[in-house]
Structure 1
Amino acid sequence: MTTTGSARVPSGLLWTLALVGALTAPTAAASESRALTSFPSGPARAPASLSLRLDSGNGKRMEPEVGAPTWLRLNLALTATWRRYCARPGVEGCGAFERLPEDEQVGDTSDFSSPRPYLGLALELEVLPLARSDSSALRGLGLQLGAQRGYSSSDVTLTGDGGQTPVREVSATDTAFTAQALYRFYFRFGTTRPQQGYVGARAGLQTRAFDVEEAVDNPLTGTHRVFPSVAVDLSVPLFSSVRLDASGGLLLSPKPGRSPEADGGRRAQEISDFGTSVSSFGWSAELGASGDVWGPFGYEVAFRLAHFRDRFSGAGTRTGWTQGGVAEETYSSLHVGLTATY
C-alpha cells in the first residue's frame, strides 16, 4: 500500500505545477513589458534616438541661396552711348519723309549722328530695406536711384531748301537721372544648390538731357526731358556665377523743352522750332548678364536702348514746318560695371 500511495503523489504534483505555470505566464509577460517600458533598455531607446536625429537635421543652419535679396546693391559702370536724331516736317515718321517724291520733300530737316560714342560713367544704387524679412511678400520692396553722364563730339548737318550746311563738329553731353520704386517677387531655381531669380516692376521719374555747345553757327538745339516711367524686370540664374537680366519699359509723355525758364527760354526753342505744341511717347529695353566674382563683389554687362518720338502740331519757326512734323531720338548704350552688395 505504501508503494501504491508513493506512485500517485508525484503524478498529481506534476499536473498542479503545469497548471500554475500556464496561469502565471501571461502575468509574467505583462510585468516584463511594464518593466521594459519603465526602465528602457537598448531596443526601447531606438525610436527616441531616431526622433532626435530628425529634429537635429531640421534645425541645422542652411546655406544661403545664390541670388538671395540683399539690403544694398551698388553698381559703378563705364558707359559708351550712341545717339541718333532726326526731324522731318509734315510727316509722322522720318522714314515717311524719305519716301515722299522729291518735289514734296520741302522744309528744313535735321540729322544728328554720333559715330564716336559718348564715354562716361553710370552709378546705380538699389535699396531693399526689408530684404531679410521673414515675410516673402515684403522683402522685394525697394528703391532704385541712378545717374549717368557721358561726353563726346558729334557731326551735325542741316538740310533745307537752300541746300545742305557743311558738316560741323559739335561737343555735347548726355545726362540721365532715375528715381524709381520697385517690387520684386523672388523664386527658387535649381535643385543641387538652390538659386534665386526674380520678376519685378518699377515705377518713378526719369530725366534725359542732351546738351550741345552754344554757338551762332550751330543749327541743332538739345533736348531736355522729365517724365514718369514704368518697367518690368526679369532675372534668371543660368549658372552659379551667371544670370540673365532683361527689362522693358514705357516712357510716358517724355516731352522735350521742360522748364523753359531754367535757361532763359532756350529750352522753349525745342518746341517752337517745329510747332506750337508736342505730344511724345517712348520706350526702353535692356538685355545683359551679371554674376558674383568674389565675396560681395560681382560684375554686370548690359546693352540698353531708349527711343523717343515727338509729334509736333501747329506752325514752327523753321522753314516748311507749317503743319508740324516729327522728331525721333534714340540712345544706344553699353554698360560694363562692377557691383558690390551687402
Structure 2
Amino acid sequence: MGIYLDYAATTPIKPEVLTQMIDIYENHYGNPSSIHSIGRDARKFLDESRRTVATSLGAQPNEVIFTSGATESNNTAIKGIAYANQHRGRHLITTKIEHHSVLHVFEQLEKEGFEVTYLDVNKAGIIDLEQLKNAITDETILVSIMFVNNEVGTVQPMYDIDYILQDKNILLHVDAVQAIGHLPIDFHELNIDTMSITGHKFGGPKGIGALLVKTDTPIHYNQLGGEQEVKRRAGTENLPQIIGLAQAIKNVSSQIDENNLHLMTLKNQLLVSLQERSIPFELNGSMTETTGHIVNLYFPFIDVETMLTLLDLANIYVSSGSACTAGSTDPSHVITSMYDKNRAFHSVRFSFNEQTTETEVKQVVAEIHKIYHRFKKEEA
C-alpha cells in the first residue's frame, strides 16, 4: 500500500470502531426518536454515546450536539453566537491561520456588517497575547481560536487566552479537531463556550462530529425541522456514526501519553535523519509548543507540487496542508502568515499516528535524500 503520512487529513477507521458500527447497523436500527421498544433501544445507545463523548472532554452530556463534522460545528458555533449576541456588539476576533471552515464564516459575517480582527502569528505559529488584549473592544462578543493548528501542529496558549477573556462577557469558540487524542482537554476547566471536533481525525468514521456548547450559552441554531438534539439540530441522528465517534474518542483518550511519546520519537527521528543526510530543510513552527503528530518542513531545493508528485510515485503519501484546499494553486495561508508565500510554495506537511513506524520514517527520509540529490545534480 505504501507509506501513509497524511493522518492530519484523515485516519483509517479502527477495527473495534467498525465492529461497533456494524452491530448498530444490523441489530439496533431503530429511530432514536421513536417511542416503541426498537426506538428506545436506539435511544439507549445514543444517550450512552453522548455520555462517553462528554466524559472524555470534561463536559456535561446535555452540552454535546452531534453534527456532520467540524465544518458544520464551526459554522453553527460562529454564526450562531454572532447572530444571538449582535445586540451587544458586532466585533469578532480570530487568527489568520484558522481552518477555512472558520475563516470563510468570518468573511461572510464581514459582508453582513460584522467587524473582524484577524490576529497575526509569529514564526512558531503562536498568537501575540498583547495583540489579543489590544484588539478587544466594548463591541467584542466572540473570540475563535484553533487549539492545535492543522498544518504545523502549533498549540495555542489556551489557558492564557482564557485568562484574558475572563470577566469580559466575551464568548470563546475553539476548533479542537487536531487536539483530540494528543492533548488532554477539559471543556469546563478551560472555560470554553463552544468547541468543535470531528471523528475521522482519530480513528472514527467520516461524516460525524460534535459541537460542545456550554449550558446557557446564547447561540442561535439554524437547522430546523424535528425535535432532535433537544431542538438544537433537527434531523434523524446518524446512530452508527455516532457510536463510531464515541468508541474512537474513548480509545484515544485512554492512550494520550503512550501515543504522544511514540509520535514525538517519530518527529525527532525524521528531523535528525534529515540532518544526518545533509538534506537542507527548516522546521515550520515550534519544536516545543506543538503536538508530535504534525511536522511541517521547508525544503528550499524543490517546490511542494514536485515534491508531492515524486513522493507519490514512490508510494509515499503526504500533503502541502489542509485537505480542504486540495486542488487549489494558492500557497498555504498558514505558512504565508507565519513566513511568506515563497516559503509556502516549498513546504510539506508530514503527519503521523500510532500506526506509523520508525522503519517507515527511515524509508521516507531515504526517498527525500534521492530526490534532493537528483535536483542537486540537475542544478550542477
Between structures 1 and 2, the one with greater helix share? 2
TM category (shorter chain) comes to under 0.3
Between structures 1 and 2, the one with greater strand share? 1
**TM-score (norm: length of structure 1):** 0.24
